[in-house]
Amino acid sequence: MAVHDDCKLRFLELKAKRTHRFIVFRIEEKQKQVIVEKVGEPDQNYEDFTASLPPNECRYAVYDFDYVTAENCQKSRIFFIAWSPDTARVRSKMIYASSKDRFKREMDGIQVELQATDPTEMDLDVIKSRLSK
Amino acid sequence: MYGGDEVSAIVVDLGFHTCKAGYAGEDAPKAVFPSEVGSIDQMEVDDTDKSDKNSGSALDSKSKGKRKLYVGSQDMGFRRDHMEVLSPIKDGIVVDWDMVENIWDHALSSYKLNIIYLTCYGAISVPPPNIKLKILLTGRKCLLIDPKEHPMLLAEPCFNTQLQREKSAEIMFEKYQVPALFLAKNAVLTSFASGRATSLVVDSGGGSTTVAPVHDGYVLQKAVATSPVGGEFLTDCLLKSLEHKGLPIKPRYAFKRKEIRPGEFQVVDLDFPNTTESYKLYSQRVIVGDIKECVCRVPDTPYDETSYSNIPMTPYELPDGQTIEIGADRFKIPDVLFNPSLVQTIPGMENSLETLSFVRGLPQMVIESINKCDVDIRRELFSSILLAGGTASMQQLKERLEKDLLEETPQAARVKVLASGNATERRFRVPLVYYNCNRFRLMLETNLSVNTAFGSVGAYWHLLVPSSKCGSPSLSEFSCLSPHALLLQIYIYSRFINLYAVVMTGMKSMELLISNANAPNMLSCSTY
Residues forming a β-bridge with B504? B487, B509
Chain A residue with minimum CA distance to B190: A94
SS3 B20: strand
Q: Among the listed ranges A43-52, B203-212, B351-360, B515-524, which one has the minimum average pLDDT value?
A: B515-524
Cβ separation of B194 and A58 shorter than 8 Å?
Answer: no
What does DSSP say about strands B314-317 and B498-504: parallel, antiparallel, or unpaired? unpaired
Domains observed in chain B: 230-358 (3.90.640.10)
Give me the pLDDT at residue B351, please: 66
Residues of B in contact with A99 (CB under 8 A): 437-438
- Rounded distance, CA B180 to CA B169, Å? 10
In this predicted model, what pLDDT tens digit does every residue of B265-313 receive, in sequence order? 888 888 888 888 899 999 999 999 999 988 888 998 888 888 888 888 8
- Rounded distance, CA B80 to CA B279, Å? 9
What does DSSP say about strands B131-137 and B498-504: parallel, antiparallel, or unpaired? unpaired
CB-CB neighbours of A124 under 10 Å: 12
Q: What is the mean pLDDT of residues B180-200?
A: 87
Give the range with max mean pLDDT: A86-90, B409-413, B499-503.
Answer: A86-90
SS3 B124: coil
- Rounded distance, CA B24 to CA B308, Å? 45
Residue B435 has pLDDT above 70, yes or no: no
Chain A residue with minimum CA distance to B216: A101
A with B: how many residue pairs have Cβ under 8 Å apart? Answer: 80
Residue B411 has pLDDT above 80, yes or no: no
Give me the pLDDT at residue B46, please: 46
CB-nearest partner of A99 from B27, B418, B437 = B437
Q: What is the mean pLDDT of residues B121-140?
A: 39
Residue B54 has pLDDT above 60, yes or no: no
- Rounded distance, CA B5 to CA A127, Å? 43
Please name which of B292, B283, B255 lies closest in space to residue B77, comparing C-alpha atoms.
B283
Residues of A in contact with B486 (CB under 8 A): 102
Supply the DSSP string of chain A, one letter for each residue.
-EE-HHHHHHHHIIIII---SEEEEEEETTTTEEEEEEE--TT--HHHHHHTS-TTS-EEEEEEEEEE-TT--EEEEEEEEEE--TTS-HHHHHHHHHHHHHHHHHSTT--EEEEESSGGGGSHHHHHHHHT-
Domains observed in chain A: 2-129 (3.40.20.10)
Residue A102 has pLDDT above 70, yes or no: yes
Which runs of E-coded beta strand occur in B298-426? Answer: 314-317, 323-326, 385-388, 417-419
In this predicted model, what pLDDT tens digit does every residue of B480-512 receive, in sequence order? 222 222 223 333 222 222 233 333 332 333 333
Chain B residue with minimum CA distance to A117: B195
The phi and psi torsions of B319 (rounded to 5 degrees) equal: -60, -30
Burial of B173 by CB count in 10 Å (0-12 exposed, 13-18 middle, 19+ buried)? Answer: buried
Please name which of A70, A45, A65 lies closest in space to residue A110, comparing C-alpha atoms.
A65
Chain A residue with minimum CA distance to B484: A101
Give me the pLDDT at residue B57, please: 38
Instruction: Check CB contact of B191 with chain A, cutoff 8 Å.
Output: yes
Residues forming a β-bridge with B115? B135
Distance from CA of B164 to the nearest CA of A (A): 25
Q: What is the mean pLDDT of residues B450-467?
A: 29
Burial of B258 by CB count in 10 Å (0-12 exposed, 13-18 middle, 19+ buried)? Answer: exposed
CB B205 within 8 A of CB A110: no
Angle between the N-to-C axes of helices A90-106 and A5-12, in degrees from 0 to 180, rounded to the nearest 10: 60
> Confidence class of residue B201 from pLDDT cuts 50, 70 and 90?
very high
CB B450 within 8 A of CB B501: yes
DSSP code at position B5? T
Give me the pLDDT at residue A37, please: 92
CB-nearest partner of A102 from B196, B384, B438 = B438
Residues ≥6 apart with Cβ < 8 Å to B148: B176, B177, B178, B179
The one-letter amino acid at B358: F
Give me the pLDDT at residue B423, please: 54
CB-nearest partner of A95 from B380, B383, B436 = B436
Q: Which is more confidently placed, B9 or B221? A: B221
Give me the pLDDT at residue B433, please: 41
Distance from CA of A120 to the nearest CA of B (A): 11
Residues forming a β-bridge with B70? B38
Confirm whether the ipTM is greater than 0.90: no
Q: What is the mean pLDDT of residues B172-201?
A: 87
Interior/surface letters B398-420, b for 16+ CB within 10 angstroms, e for the rest: bebbbbbbeeebeeebebbbbbb
Residue B470 has pLDDT above 90, yes or no: no
The residue of A29, A31, A56, A90 whose CB has the most chain B CBs within 10 angstroms, and thus the best one to mutate to test that interface, is A90
The residue of B8, B27, B192 whose CB has the most chain A CBs within 10 angstroms, and thus the best one to mutate to test that interface, is B192
Q: Among the listed ranges B28-32, B216-220, B314-318, B515-519, which one has the minimum average pLDDT value?
A: B515-519
SS3 B171: helix
Give me the pLDDT at residue B357, please: 64
Residues ≥6 apart with Cβ < 8 Å to B50: B84, B276, B277, B278
Please name which of B196, B186, B124 lies closest in space to residue B158, comparing C-alpha atoms.
B186
Chain A residue with minimum CA distance to B415: A121
Cβ separation of B197 and A115 shorter than 8 Å?
Answer: yes
Q: How far is CA B455 from CA B173, B449, B450, in A?
A: 16, 9, 8
In this predicted model, what pLDDT tens digit does every residue of B77-119 receive, in sequence order? 888 888 889 889 887 788 889 899 888 888 886 434 333 333 3
Percent of chain B with pLDDT over 90: 10
Residues of B in contact with A85 (CB under 8 A): 195
> Confidence class of residue B389 from pLDDT cuts 50, 70 and 90?
confident
- Rounded distance, CA B73 to CA B36, Å? 9
Please name which of A92, A86, A76, A77 lies closest in space to residue A116, comparing C-alpha atoms.
A86
Q: Any idea of the CA torsion for B359, B361, B367, B373, to the nearest 10 degrees?
A: 40
Distance from CA of B416 to the nearest CA of A (A): 10
Residues forming a β-bridge with A115? A82
Chain B residue with minimum CA distance to A133: B376
Cβ separation of B194 and A117 shorter than 8 Å?
Answer: yes
Residues ≥6 apart with Cβ < 8 Å to B280: B251
Residues of B in contact with A98 (CB under 8 A): 192, 197, 217, 434, 437-439
CB B331 within 8 A of CB B313: no
Looking at every residue in chain B, the average pLDDT score rounds to 70
Distance from CA of A61 to the nearest CA of B (A): 14
Residue B69 has pLDDT above 80, yes or no: yes
CB-nearest partner of A1 from B194, B195, B438 = B438
Residue B13 has pLDDT above 50, yes or no: yes
Distance from CA of A16 to the nearest CA of B (A): 26
Interior/surface letters A53-84, b for 16+ CB within 10 angstroms, e for the rest: beeebbbbbbbbbeeeeeeeeeeebbbbbbbb
CB B192 within 8 A of CB B184: no
Angle between the N-to-C axes of helices B277-295 and B231-244, in degrees from 0 to 180, rounded to the nearest 10: 100
The one-letter amino acid at A69: T
Give me the pLDDT at residue B141, please: 54
Residues of A in contact with B194 (CB under 8 A): 84, 86, 93, 97, 117
